[in-house]
Amino acid sequence: MRVRTLQPDDRFRLESLLSASVNFTAEEVGTALEVIDEALEGDPDYLVNVLETDDAEVAGFECHGPVPLTIGTFDLYWIAVDPRVQNRGFGRVLLRAAENDVRSREGRLLLIETSSQPGYAATIGFYERNGYALEARIRDFYRVGDDKLIFAKSLVPGVD
Amino acid sequence: MRVRTLQPDDRFRLESLLSASVNFTAEEVGTALEVIDEALEGDPDYLVNVLETDDAEVAGFECHGPVPLTIGTFDLYWIAVDPRVQNRGFGRVLLRAAENDVRSREGRLLLIETSSQPGYAATIGFYERNGYALEARIRDFYRVGDDKLIFAKSLVPGVD
């Protein structure tokens, strides 16, 4: 298993991986692909890492980037692992890759936004196990009854 | 005085208006101009209204838009009034124009992000007088000691 940066050939594989994830709507898959395309075009606001298994299969990816008008704050925009290979720690490896990249760019705060809907409980548990704490909630953000939760982790050097 | 939609001729005037505002850094002015350019190119994510005085001077503008992946949530990205004509209620007129446009697009929630720094106290007072309440805070968002405050107003028809 290894983590590497995004390559043009990955796009098709990432599209099928996103489409296979029950947690993403068609609109969300479209938004994720737009971000992947921006990253492939070299947009420095979107940084993508891909996780490859030992047999060179792309099993997941994450996308993060600096938040404009901040000093040292980054967003984790997407993280997804192929449903067929979940529960093997691949998500954790991708998350660590994002955190290390943020630290290498003098980032100090990594934010992750997610939904309060029950379908995201496992995702939220994953973030909490990896040191993220609920920082803020915007009620009815996605739709009435579906809040936006913002999780945060301090990445000050030496803390983790 | 009247509120009208953005026209290409406004760009130069808005640039000088933004540059004259003590609350905006050079980076923020650049970001606002990028958004104005997107709006001029017809990007439906950025909707801009301009306030014109009776002698056809552009005295302020606001920019709002739908938040992707939400149903009915909008962001107020920018609102600015020429420092020479402040305290005449122009900000309120622009804010109402944004709210009415959001309602006309079946929007139900308008969010405004701002900084916790003392220089924004007057801005925050303006939002609060106009029905916005602090919904969430992200500590150290802009930089250490400078939080992001997210104000929200419900725009459900009939509420206001």
Q: For chain A, first and last CA: distance in Å?
A: 23
Chain B: give the shortest CA distance to residue A128, in Å.
17
Q: What is the pLDDT along chain B (160 residues), one digit of tens a residue?
A: 999 999 999 999 999 999 988 778 898 999 999 999 999 999 999 999 999 999 999 999 999 999 999 999 999 999 999 988 888 999 999 999 999 999 999 999 999 999 999 989 999 999 999 999 999 999 999 999 999 999 999 997 654 5
Tell me the DSSP string of B84-152.
GG-SSSHHHHHHHHHHHHHHHTT--EEEEEEE-SGGGHHHHHHHHHTT-EEEEEEEEEEETTEEEEEEE
Task: Please report whether residue A32 resides in a domain.
Answer: yes
Given the cut 0.85, state whether the ipTM is greater than it.
yes
Residue B60 contacts by C-beta under 8 Å, 6 or more apart in sequence? B17, B50, B51, B79, B80, B81, B82, B85, B90, B91, B94
Arithmetic mean of pLDDT, A46-54? 96
Q: Which helix (H) or strand (E) holds A139?
A: strand A133-143
Q: Which of A35, A137, A148 to mutate to test the interface with B (most CBs of B within 10 A)?
A: A148
Check A143 against B68: CB less than 8 A apart: no
- pLDDT of residue A156 exceeding 90, the answer is no
The per-residue pLDDT for B87 is: 86
Neighbours of A160 (CB within 10 A): 13
- The phi and psi torsions of B59 (rounded to 5 degrees) equal -110, -5
**Count of H-run helices and E-run strands, chain B:** 4, 7
In angstroms, the CA A52 to CA A138 distance is 35
In angstroms, the CA B149 to CA B136 distance is 6
Arithmetic mean of pLDDT, A7-18? 94
Per the structure, the complete domain to which residue B38 belongs is given by: 2-154
Which residues in chain A touch residue B138, judged by CB atoms under 8 angstroms apart?
111, 135-136, 150, 152
Number of domains in chain B: 1
The per-residue pLDDT for A81 is: 93
In angstroms, the CA A62 to CA A158 distance is 23
SS3 A129: helix
The per-residue pLDDT for A159 is: 47
Task: Please report whether residue A159 resides in a domain.
Answer: no
Which residues in chain A touch residue B72, judged by CB atoms under 8 angstroms apart?
143-144
**Nearest alpha-carbon partner for A139 in A148, A150, A151:** A148
SS3 A132: coil
Structure tokens at A60: 């997941």
- Is residue B108 within 8 Å of residue B87, measured between CB atoms? no
pLDDT tens track for A104-120: 999 999 999 999 999 89
The per-residue pLDDT for A23 is: 79
Task: Please report whether residue B135 resides in a domain.
Answer: yes
The per-residue pLDDT for B79 is: 95
- Range with lowest mean pLDDT among A10-24, A119-133, B106-120: A10-24
Task: Please report whether residue B54 resides in a domain.
Answer: yes
pTM (two decimals): 0.92
**Nearest alpha-carbon partner for A63 in A112, A27, A20, A19:** A112
Chain B: give the shortest CA distance to residue A109, in Å.
8
Task: Please report whether residue A110 resides in a domain.
Answer: yes
**Nearest alpha-carbon partner for B103 in B25, B156, B27:** B156
Interface of B with A (CB under 8 A): 27-28, 31, 67-73, 108-109, 111, 135-144, 150, 152
Place of tokens 């739709």: A143
Q: Which residue has the higher pLDDT, A76 or A23?
A: A76
**Nearest alpha-carbon partner for A1 in A60, A87, A63:** A60
pLDDT tens track for A143-152: 999 999 999 9
The per-residue pLDDT for B34 is: 94
Task: Please report whether residue A22 resides in a domain.
Answer: yes
Q: How many CB pairs under 8 A join A and B?
A: 59
Task: Please report whether residue B150 resides in a domain.
Answer: yes
Q: Residue A157: which pLDDT band, with cuts at 50, 70 and 90? A: low
- Report the CATH number that the domain containing residue A84 is assigned in CATH: 3.40.630.30
How buried is residue B103: exposed, middle or buried, by Cβ count under 10 Å (0-12/13-18/19+)? middle
- The phi and psi torsions of B44 (rounded to 5 degrees) equal -70, -5
The per-residue pLDDT for B105 is: 95
In angstroms, the CA B32 to CA A56 distance is 43
